[in-house]
Each structure stands twice: as structure tokens, then as C-alpha cells.
Structure 1
Amino acid sequence: MASSTGEGAPASPVVGNAPPLVTTEAKMIVAIGHDHCQQLKDVLSKEDSSTMVVVMASSNQTPTPPKPRSPVMDSRLLAVACSGSWKKLQSFLSGEDRQTSGDGAIRSSAMQPAFGDEEALLRESFLDAVTMDGDTFLHVMATNSDGENLEEDGPIRRKAVSLLFMQNIHGDTPLHYAARAAKINMVSFLIDLAGGKDQNADRVKALLEMDNKSKWTVLHEAVRSGKNDIVELLMKEDPELASLPKAGTSPLYLAILLENRIIAKTLYKLSHGKSGSNDENLSYSGPSGQNALHAAVLRGKGLTEMVLGWNNDLTTQQDDKGSTPLHLVASMPRQKDRRYIRLLEANPDALYQMDNDGSFPIHVAASVGSRITINVFLQKSPSCAGLRDARGRTFLHVAVDEMKIWPVWSACRNQSLSWILNMQDNGGNTALHLAVQKGTLMIFCAIFGNKKVHLNLTNEKGKTPLDIAHCSIPKGLHYNQNAEVKIHAALELAGAKRGICRLDYFEENDIVQVRKDEMEKVKEGTGSLCIGSVLIATVTFAASFAIPGGYRADDHTNGGTPTLAGKYTFDVFTIANALAFTFSAMATISLMFSGSPMVSLPIRKMHIQLAYFLMGISVTNLTTAFALGSYMMLAPVAHKIAIAVCVMSFLVLLYQNLDLTIKNCVLVSPLLRRKGICYRIVTIPLTAFMFMGSVLFQLLPVVVVFYLTVLSHTGNKVEPAAQPPTPLA
């Protein structure tokens, strides 16, 4: 086989009786365009049979020529169009603004071509230019012109007529722009321009009903601009305009959304059909399957009543998520006008319509914590309390799940709702199960305080509320005032039982809560607590050398000693400050052990627990030292202020018991309701005694400080020596 260069290839040996090989010349022709096809045919027809031709094509599809692009609008033309003056535009295109340059050449700001018979054609072609957004000069004029008269006949008017239906890259026509800019004269001019001398109604209707890429007609733009006179003009030209689009945001929906009642009434009044019914040519549709009533209920009671007066059937229509207008209004937690009452009067059955998730309006109200809305629903139809969503939950389950205290509190104190308190969802959980899982003490107490709530019902996993509470307590290190611990203690005090199941199964397979590794707990606790302990040690160390009252002068007998030394308050301050430093230093040492990876985990846990205890004592002594130091400085000149500072300082000690006090007070009431009068006689004094004992325990370091100071002053008292007798003269 010969190469394309014409050089002969080496002959191959002949095998057997095979005929000798024939040497031919090869050519390769590549067709790179559609216009090369005919040339390829001519080459093939001229070549003989001994020539091998290889044909290659770059694509199987014939490339389509690109659409011609409109010229970019000249900056001077854009500037003249933005002025909004037809006269300036006409003067600009006629060349009246030509200027003579310095070299005597005549130049036009608009066109550089020759001037002659071609000038009229050049003027019109010059007006075909567009901006980067695809706006023609008519789009720009529609935005800026006040609709002044244009000459009856001429190139500008002819070009304007041809550009009336021209859309930019967003699909907007010049009429869209005129309505958006609220130019009523320009809107009227463009409509007249579309009708022409013969007042072609079909052409006007086609222009008015053109929509952009957002499916908005010129009527939408007029509604958004808020100009009722433009809306009236458009509706009189085309009474069916308010019916577009059939699906999507209608002009009426947009007017309701913008709370423009005047325009909404105009649309309803002028959209009359052949049968005289306004609804025939009026669309109530909105985005995502909504209707005008969906928007009205979120905008006010007045708009809601107005739309309901026009079409009462809108109350049953659902959007793409299955929500009715009642679902939407139920999702508003605070309503002074209670517009949902008007919806219920129009359609009481709307309470029993579910959305795509199976939720009824009462579930929606519970999820946002609207207690008043729920009470109104229950007054209108008490049976709706037992409605279940797709997960089998009542509104009480939903309120607990979303941790809304007021609906739960109201439902648990409503005797007529006792029948739903023990209802179970698809997982077998009652409201009490969910409250224990959430670990919210207030919600738990609201349910737990109702004696009709069963404490020992099991869910599908065989767990009672006590089982869930037990599994919710973190293993290892934890704060003993956590809500989980308090809930577990309250259930045990009330006599709650565990499930009928092996307890070790729960211990091994509990996946209710993901717990942190013990090592991570120790690391995190050590880091945060160490900052506080070191800070207290630093402050108390500095206070030992910057004592109140200063020091005696060097020429004094006891020069360099504190001036207030020997006074009772100063000694108490010194001892309290020393104890604060000592215990904070001890806490720091414990934290050094708890943070060391060389120490075993049990020892580290012991040290961090000890550090918390030492830090509590250190804070108490530091507060005492601050209060006494302030008292020493202020008491001689402002005794009342000194007392006030002491009282405010000891609020720190009360704050240490605030969490304990609040949680115990919250739990006392439901426990008393469950245990009865006898339990109350014992529990109330016991609770008060426990609270006082806790406060006194926090104040124990203060008592010790004062007692040590008293002992030191008592031991330092010395009896005066007897005076010798006076000698007689």
C-alpha cells in the first residue's frame, strides 16, 4: 500500500499461489462544513476505482447558523430616549444636532453613514438597536415619557408600532414598562398605538394579555405600582384581563398581598363576564396552589371578610402542601382580631381538613403555641381535640413535641379534655412519655400534676415514663440538679413503675440520648473550671497586699503594718480572703490532677468533683471578703451605703441556690396534687427545711470566718497588771 507521499512501500513476500499485492495510492479528504459537500461529490466523481478515499466528518448534525444579534444601542440614543421627549428623539434622528468638528468635517451624533436617499432607511434601522437587557428605544421611552403627542406619521411612529410586541430578555414589553413606571398617559398612548386608526380590538387584547417570564401581564405591573386609574383603564379595555394567568399569581392575589383594598375592589367590580358573574373573569389563584384567601388571612381581618364576601368556596381550597386558609391563620400565634373566627363561621368543616402531612388546623395551632386559637377551635367543635395527624399525635402530643408550655398547661387543666391525656401515638407514646424524653421540667410538671394521667403505660418498646427518665440520665459525671434527674426523682416519689421487661436490656440497648465520653467530660469541665479557680487565687493574692485603709508610715512604731489592723471587721476580711485563696489554690491543684492524662479516669473524676466543691467555698469566702472590705471603707462616712453593698454582695450566695430553689418549687405543686392532703402536711415543712438547710450550708464558710475571728479576739484579751501602792509621804 502506498503512502500519501507517493513513495512505494516495500513488497511483501508471496505466500503460496496467492496473487501479488496491488499497490494503490490513498487520499484523505475532510469535509469541515456544510458547503464542502458539493466539492466532496465532485472529487468522488472524478476519481477512478483504484483510488481509495477516506472521508471524515466532525459531527453528525448539521450546525445551525446563529441568530443575528441586534446592534447595541448607541449611548446618545439611549440618553435621548431616557429624556422621555419624542421631539428630542426626532431631532436626534433627523441630524439636526450634527456638529462641525475642528477640521471642518460634518459629524452626526447618531449616524456616521452618508446622508442622502438612504437616510430614511438608516434612521429606522438605527432604532432597531437594543440595550444589554434587550430593551428597545420604546422600552426606554415607555419608562421615562409622560405620553406627549407623537407625530401622526413618520419613521419613529412606524418603528414604535413594530416594536409594541417586542420583548426584552425578561419577557417585558414596552407596555409592561409604562405600567411599572405608573405612566398612565404612556399606557394610554401605547394602547392607542396598538389599535391603530382602525381601532383593532384584537391587537389591543393580544398586547394586554402578553405575559413576561414571570407570567405577569401589564395588569400585574399596574397593581404593583398601586395606580388604580391605570387598573381601571386596562380593565375597561379588556374585562377578561383579571382572569390571567389561570394558574399562578393573579392580579387579585397580588393586590391582596400588597394590602391594596381599592385596587382589589376595582378588579372585582370591572371583571364582569357574559353571565354578569364577577367570578367568571376573575382569578383568585396564587403561587404554589394558593388563592387570594390564603393571602388575605395573613394580611388582616378586613381583607379576609372582603374576600369571603366575594367567594366563600375559597375556604376549602388547599395549596400544594395541602394547607387551607385556616391552616395558615392557625400558624399565627398572636392575633388581636381573631380572624380565624370568620373562617370558621364561613366553613366550620375546615377544622377537619388535613394537609399533606396529615396535620389539622388544631395541630398547627399547637405547634406555634397558640393557646387562644386552640380554645376557640375546641369551643366551636370539641371533638376536634381527638384528631390525629399522620404520626398518630393529638394536638397535645404536638405541643409537647414542640415544647410549647401554654397549650399543654391549658389542656391539662381542662376537665373536658381528660379523655385525650392518655392517648398514644403510632409509637405508643403518651404526652407524658414525650415530656420525659424532651426533659423540659415545666411541661413535665403540667402533665404530671394531673392525677388522671397514667404513669405506667408502656410504649411499643415496652418503656414506661420512668424507664425513659432512667435512660435519660447521663452516665457518669452529671449535674445533680439537671431536669432529667429531677424528673426521675419525681416519678419515683409518685410511685411510678418500670416496664415489664429485663432492666439490663434497657441498660445495654438504650439509644434515647447520645452521651459524651467520660474523658471528654473531664477535659471540658477542667478547662472551664480552671479559669475561675486561677482567677480567684490571683484576686485574693493581690488583695492581701492591697488591703483597705493602707499601711502605717515608716516612722511609726509599727511602720509598714495595716492601719486597720486589730479591728474586728478587718480581721474577718483578712481571714475570709485567706480562706478564699486557700480553697481556690486547692481547687487548682485538683484540676491539675483531673486534667492530667497520666492519672487514671476514676481519680480524675474524683478530683474534678472535689474541685467543684472547693470552688463553691472559695466563691463564698471571696464574696464575704469583698463585702467586709467595702464596709470598712464606707461605714465611717456612709453607713447605709455600706449596708447596701453588703446585702447586694450576698445575692451571689443566693444565686448559687437559685436553680435548686426554682426546680424544687416547680415540682412541689404537682407532687402535692398526686400524693394528697397527708403528703402536703409533711412535704411543705420538709421542703422549706431543705431549702433553708441548703442556704445555711452555703453560708457555713461565712459562719466559720466570723467564729474564728471572735476566738482570736477573745484569746488576745490580757488582764491589766495591779498598780503598786502609793508611798506615804
Structure 2
Amino acid sequence: MASRSSGDEPSSLLMEENAVQVSVDAKLTVAAGRGNCQQLKDLLSTEDSKTMLVVMAPSIQASTVKPLPEVMSPLLLSSACSGAWQDLEFLLNRGHGQPHPSMNSSTNILDLLTAYGSHSCSGKGASMQKASDDVEALLNLPSGSTVSLLDGVTIEGGTALHVVATYGESDGFLRSADIIHSKANHLLFARNKNGDTPLHCAARAGMSRMVCHLITLARGENTGVNRVKELLEIENILKETALHQAVRIGNNDIVKLLMEEHSELASFPKDGTSPLYLAILLEEDIIVETLYNASHMKLSYSGKNGQNALHAAVLRGTELTKKLLEWNSDLTTQRDENGSTPLHFAAALAQQSQRGSICWQVLEANSASLYQSDCNGLFPIHVAASVGESGTITMFLNKSPSSAGLQDSMGRTFLHVAAEKRKVRIVSSACRNRSLLWILNIQDNDGNTALHLAIQARSLRMFCALLGNRHTHLNLSNNIGQTPLDISLYGVSPGIFDDQISEAKIHFALTVVNARSGGSRRDHFEENYTRQLKYDETEQLEKLKESTQTLCIGVALIATATFTVTFALPGGYKADEHINGGTPTLAGRYAFDAFIIASTFSFVLSVMAMVGLMYSGYSILNPQTRRIYLIAALYFGSTSGTCFLATFALGLYMVLARVAHKSAIAICVISPLAVICKQMDLWLKWAVLAQPLCTRIGLTRTLVMVTTRILFSLLMEFWPIIVIFVWATYTSNQF
């Protein structure tokens, strides 16, 4: 309803599409439908009808008006939730031919009726009498209508029968369901916003008695029309029947009840998640048996995303997998929307190489599935390589050796995939297997072999495994003309270069074994090298700055500690009344002289490192000079740490040597372990490189090369220790 005076804006007059537009001076009110007629009547009773012009709109087609659903009355909702069938019966009959509510209704309904009627009566007794005499007025419903009250729905779109089915299964709730069904039997098939019927709600709530009762109502013993099958097969918006709800809550009793009423119910929906798939996914083993036995093998195995029940079984355990394979072995060939078979799923599981495992069962049931690829061309052996399951790959190869050469849509074998994913164990195992020599040099669609990809992954161990096999070709070029040697150089970033990183070791090893570069000119290669790395000077300088700040803290701590120790000498000082008073009491000893030189080296080298770090962070200097200062600072800082350990060990030795000689010796032996650990990474890398180098260039040359470099690194690390003890020996011989 809309009204306006002659002075109002035209836009304030709201009219329907077919309404008659009238322009008069009097107040104008338009009724666009039946719902506004009562409001017009009420308005006419309070306004001057002589100055009121009423315009009735022509009849509007029902299809153009979409009525909003009625909201369920709180009185009806309260009665349905509590299972108060007497209150429910009184509300639905609304006093016609019914006794006074105090005679057959609960205290709750009387309180509600009083509360809803208190706006029109002053006393409680009068309000109760008014509520019982004029329930229609309280509910704001047309007199004599019974169906319109049940047309009200909850926020979720559920009817009164949905509410009763959800909240209980006692005699009161069952009687309430009977009352509602007798008034509006169509509500048994009504759906809420989720597409659920009252049977869905009862099954989801685990109300087995209510489920049975609703099925009885659908059987139509009073009407003679049996609609049980129709009710059970109704699917909600998720394409799930009431059976799905029973499976989801793990209620085997309701599952049995539903399956006894409809033995083929487990075959619904035709497409989508079947009850069997859901039960397996939830690991409801008993329900799985019930569905299979009660359905007489007429059940669906389908699942979500095109999967079947076997896809779910391989993710849940060996027992479920064994059952599914016994019931239907054809499931092994079916693929989901990604093209994955159950064997793809099983290949991704951990520790599946032993006999009787999930993967073994699926493979034994259908070994041909080993040759089924997914939508990306990946075979099960590729999946196993991707997750690093070397045992599964071995099982596949034992079953079918030719599967080693299967290539995906990118032309990759399982060895390419393992190299890309840095699965060292698989690559190492494949390089030791003589039956797999023929796949070592297979090139993918980009022309890369496994060696190319291992170098790109910057994995020294994978590289060494491939290099150690003489059948691995070192000079194959990929589609852009890069050999493994070229790719190894790309891995060595310009700027701050550290020859101890894996990339540098890989490049060094390829150079030693005389690997060749590609067919491009050297100047072209260097141009591409610079372009591919996209060397950013600003980024390198920022890394330089961060490194300087971090290292400064360490060397400053060493310098401070050494300075403190130097003026707090072990053993203290001689008293002033003694000869050479104020001098160290332990002066002249071999250990003392070594201690003094060690502390001196520690302090001086740490200060030199601090100076180098200061200059490396000095932005005025050119970047190359700053890098040189940083490398020098790193070396001096590391060496000062070695000297500081020597200072610590010698200081304790001087104090304990005469009273605890064995402990003093133990301290001297243990202290160098810190320096050895610092060099451990370098030694391990040389140890890994030794075997493939020995294979390629011979034992003698390898031993000379590796030994020379290890000894050189030890000399660079421990030269201060040599100088310290040589000096201490020299000074001791002078006195």
C-alpha cells in the first residue's frame, strides 16, 4: 500500500505494472493485491472516507508474484520441539470442539498463550481465557484454516514435521508426527532449504524409532497408497538420501532398517557419492558389510570427483581394500576425474613394498593398471617416484620391468621425476640397478636427461650417483644446446662466490672428468649466462649488508672475550713483595707462552675481521672491493675462533695440569672438535665426490686430488695452532 497527497513527488506513488494511475487532489491509496485489502479497510475505518479515494488494481497474474514463505508460529515451533502432542493438537484445531486448554494442555502452552495474549488483557486469568477463546486472533491467521498454520517454516525452511523428526523419538514425538501428518500428509515429502525431508532429519539425528514411524506413515495404511520407496529415494541438494545420513553418523541400526525397506537403496544416487563410498571413507567397517549383504550386490561403488569405493579403500587400510577387491575387481581399472586409478592412489602411500600391502593387493588384482596413465600422463611408477617410495618402484619393476621406460606427457621417466623432486634414494638405487642402464640417458621433451635435472636441482648426492655410473652420458645437449657442464655453471651465481657450495663442487667435478660444453660460442654463452641469472647488483649488495651486520656480532664477542682473558690470566699475579712482583705467576712455562700467543692471535684476527666487515659495509667502495673485504673478514673471523678455542684449552690446562693432569689432557683433546665440526660439511662433500671421481678418472688421481684439498683446508684452518706451539717451543729453548 502506498499513499501521497497532490503535493508529493510522483516517485512516491508505488504501483504495480498493471495498476491504474489516477491524479486527483484527494489522498490516494492504491491496493495492488489481495493482501492490501484488509489494510485499506482498516485505514478507511480511521480516515474520512469522503476525502479518500480507493483505487483497486486489476487482477495480477499469480505467476508474477512470488509469495514469501510463512514464518512458523513460535507456539507451533515450541510444541513441535518439545513433543507436546496435546498442545500441538490444540493449536492445529484452534479450540474448535476442543476442551478448555487448561484441561488437556501443558503448563508451557498456557504460559505461551498468556504471554502472546497479554497485549490485549490486563490480568493473567483474563489473558488465558482470551487466548483460549480466540486462538485465531493470537496466531494472526484466517478463522477456520488448519493448513495455513502448518505452512509456516523455520529459518532453515523446515516444516513442523521436520522439527518433530529432528528433536525426539519418544511417544509424544511419534504422536505429534501422527497429528501433523493427519492435517497435512504432504509434509512427509516436504523439503527444507537443503533439500532434506523429515526422514533425512530423523536419520541424521539418529532417531531410529522416528525413522521407522515415518516409513510407516509413508506406507499409507490409512490411505491405501504405499509411497515408501518414493520417500526413501528422495535426494537432497547434495544428492544424498536418508541412508547417507545414517552412514555419516555411524548408526548401523538405521542403515539396516532402511535397507530392509528398500534393498536397492545403496545404489542411489546413480552418479555421485554412494553410501558405500561414504562408509569406507569414514571407516565404518560394520556398515560396509551391512550395505553389501543387505543390497544383494545391487549397490553403487561411485564416489566424489569420479572416484569409486576402491579409491577410498586404498586410503583407509588393507582390510577394506581386500574386501572391495573380492567384491568387484573391475574397480581397479576405473579412473576419477583426474584420470587416477586406485593404483595411482596406492602408489603414493608410504611403505607399500611388502607382500600383502595395499599397493601389492591392487597390483596383484590387475597388473595392467600399471600401464594406465592419468590426465597428465603420469603412470603409477611416476607417482611413486614423486613421493620418494623406492620400495614401491622396486615392486613395480619386479612385476613389470618394462614399466621403467614409461614416459609421461612431458616425456619424463620415473628417473626424471625423482631427479626433479630431489628423491636421492630413488636415483641412487636406479644407478646401481644394471637392468635400468638403458633409461639413464633417456631425454624428456625438453631434451633433458636425469643428469641435467639433478644438476638443476643442485643436489650433489644425486649428481654423484649419476656421475658414478659410467653409462651416464656427460655431454648430451638439451633442446637449447646446454650440456650438464653448461647447466652446472648456471648454478654458480656471480658475485659473492663460495667454492664450498654444492653447485661449485658439481661444476668442479664435471671439469675434472673432462665434460664438454654445448655447441654455442663462448661469448654467446656468457651473454645467455648473464641474462638467465638476471644478476641484480642491488640485491647482492643488500645480501652483503645483511651478512656484515650478522658477522660483526660474532667477531666482536670473540674480541671482547679475548681481551678480558688477557688481563685476567690463569694463576694470577705475584705479590709486590716478591721478585718481579705484579708479573704472572705461571710466566715462563711452555703452556703459558702458548696461551699468550693464542690469545694474541685470537684478538688480532678478530679485530682484523671487524675491520674487514666495516669496509665491506662501506657503501662508498665499489662492490668488488667490498666483496674482497667480506671474504677476508670471513676467513679472519673463522681463524680467530680457532685461536679462541686454543686460548680456552691452554688456560684450563695451565690451571689443572699439576692437580688433574688427565682432565687437562681431555680438555685439550675435546676442544678442537668444534673446529673439526666446522669443516665437516666440506669433508663430507669430498667424500661423496670421491667415489664417482674414482670411477671416472681412476683411484690414484682421485686420492691425490681429494687428499690435497682436504690437507690444504686443514692447513688454512689450523696454521695459527702450528705457529702457537712452534713459538712456545722456541721461547722455551731460549731459557
Which TM-score applies when normalising by structure 1? 0.82
Which of residues 457, 460, 481 in structure 2 aligns to 1:438? 457
- Matching residue within 96, 101, 106 for 1:96: 106
Q: How does 1:473-552 map onto structure 2 within 5 Å?
A: 473-510=492-529, 512-517=532-537, 518-549=540-571
Contact 1:31 1:40 in 2 (8 A): no
Question: Is the aligned partner of 1:271 residue 2:295?
Answer: yes
- Contact map agreement 2:485 2:515 (CA 8 A) in 1: yes
- Aligned equivalent of 2:417: 398
TM-superposed CA distance for 1:320, in Å, is 0.7
Q: 2:650: which partner in 1?
A: 628
Q: Is the partner of 1:163 in helix, strand or coil?
A: helix
The answer (yes or no) to whether the contact 1:123–1:155 under 8 Å persists in 2 is no
What's 1:251 paired with? 275
**1:130 Cα deviation from its structure 2 partner:** 4.2
Identity among equivalent positions (%) equals 48
* 2:476 aligns with one of 446, 451, 457: 457
Note closer, same or farther for the CA distance 1:673–1:65 as it changes in structure 2 (3 Å cut): same
Aligned counterparts of 2:641 and 2:128: Cα–Cα separation in 1: 85
Give 1:370's aligned residue: 389
Is 1:667 matched up with 2:689?
yes
Show structure 2 runs of 5+ residues with no match.
Answer: 1-8, 26-60, 93-100
- Structure 1 unmatched ranges of 5 or more: 1-26, 44-60, 273-277, 718-729
- How far did 1:181 drift? 2.3
2:15 aligned residue (33, 55, 58): 33
Alpha-carbon distance in 1 for matches of 2:332, 2:175: 53
TM-superposed CA distance for 1:286, in Å, is 0.6
Q: Structure 2 vs 1, CA of residues 96 and 690 (structure 1 numbering), >3 Å: closer, same or farther?
A: closer
The C-alpha deviation readout for 1:225-254, integer Å capped at 9, x for no partner, is 212221111011112211111111110100
How much does 1:602 deviate? 2.6
Q: Which moved more, 1:520-529 or 1:108-117?
A: 108-117
The SS at the match of 2:171 is coil
Name the counterpart of 1:67: 67
Deviation at 1:713, TM superposition (A): 4.2
The alpha-carbon distance between structure 1 residues 558 and 309, as it changes in their structure 2 partners (threshold 3 A), is same
Deviation at 1:693, TM superposition (A): 4.2
CA contact (8 A) 1:576 1:624 kept: yes
* Native 8 Å contact 1:471 1:507 kept in 2: no
How far did residue 574 of structure 1 move?
Answer: 3.4
Asked if the contact 1:124/1:155 (under 8 Å) is kept, the reply is no
Q: Are 1:409 and 1:447, in contact at CA under 8 Å, matched by a contact in 2?
A: yes
**Following TM superposition, by how much is the alpha carbon of 1:688 offset from its aligned partner in structure 2, in angstroms?**
3.6
Q: What residue is the counterpart of 1:47 in the other structure?
A: none
The question of whether the paired residues in 1 share the 8 Å contact of 2:272 and 2:302 is answered with yes
The letter of the residue matching 2:561 is V
Counterpart of 1:142 (choices 145, 165, 169) is: 165
1:312 matched to 2:322: no
Structure (1 or 2) with the greater helix fraction:
2
State the shift of 1:289 in Å. Answer: 0.6
- Alpha-carbon separation, structure 2, partners of 1:253 and 1:474: 53
8 A Cα contact 1:393 1:424, kept in partner:
yes
Matching of residue 448 in structure 1 with residue 467 in structure 2: yes
Helix, strand or coil for the counterpart of 2:259?
A: helix
Counting matched residue pairs gives 662
Given the superposition, is the C-alpha separation of residues 131 and 467 from structure 1 closer, same or farther in structure 2, using an over 3 Å criterion?
Answer: same
Contact preservation (8 Å) 1:171, 1:212:
yes
Question: C-alpha distance in 1, partners of 2:208/2:628?
Answer: 83
CA contact (8 A) 1:31 1:37 kept: no
Pair 567,194 (structure 1): closer, same or farther in 2 beyond 3 Å:
farther
Q: Which residue of 2 aligns with 1:293?
A: 310
Q: Provide closer, same or farther for how the CA distance between residues 63 and 538 of structure 1 changes in structure 2, counting only shifts above 3 A.
A: farther
Match of 2:301 in 1: 284
Distance in 2 between residues matched to 1:480 and 1:332, nearest whole Å: 39
Q: Which of the residues 637, 649, 658 maps onto 1:615?
A: 637
Larger displacement relative to structure 2 (352-361 or 637-646): 637-646
Shift of 1:109: 9.6
Residue 40 of structure 1 deviates from its aligned partner by: 5.3
Report 1:338-353 matches (<5 A). 338-353=357-372
Question: For each residue in 1:421-472, what CA deviation from the matched residue of structure 2 results, as whole angstroms up to 9, or x when unmatched?
Answer: 1111111111111112221000001111110111111111122111211232
**Counterpart of 1:54?**
none
Letter in 2 for 1:158: S
Q: Which amino acid aligns with 2:324?
A: V
Q: Name the aligned partner's letter for residue 454 of structure 1.
A: H
Query: Which residue matches 1:232?
Result: 256
Q: Show CA shifts across 1:61-91 (max 9, x none).
A: 99954533332553x7656655556578669
Q: TM-score normalized by structure 2?
A: 0.82
For residues 228 and 592 of structure 2, the distance between their equivalents in structure 1, rounded to whole angstroms, comes to 98
Separation in 2, partners of 1:154, 1:367: 60
Q: 1:213 and 2:213 equivalent?
A: no
Structure 2 residue identity aligned to 1:190: L
Shift of 1:326: 0.9
Amino acid aligned to 1:141: V
How big is each residue's C-alpha offset from its partner over 1:633-675, in whole Å with a ceiling of 9 and x where there is no partner?
A: 5556655444444333211110221121011000100111223
Aligned partner of 1:19 in structure 2 is none
**Could you tell me how far 1:628 is from its partner in structure 2?**
2.6
Offset at residue 569 of structure 1 (A):
3.4
Alpha-carbon distance change, 78 to 682 in structure 1, aligned in 2, over 3 angstroms: same
CA distance in 2, matches of 1:699, 1:111: 105
CA contact (8 A) 2:70 2:151 kept: yes
SS in 2 for 1:231: helix
Does residue 1:382 correspond to 2:401, yes or no? yes
Q: What per-residue deviation string (whole Å, max 9, x for no partner) do you get for residues 397-442 of structure 1?
A: 1111111111111111111111111111111111111112221000
Distance 1:457 1:111 in 2: 99
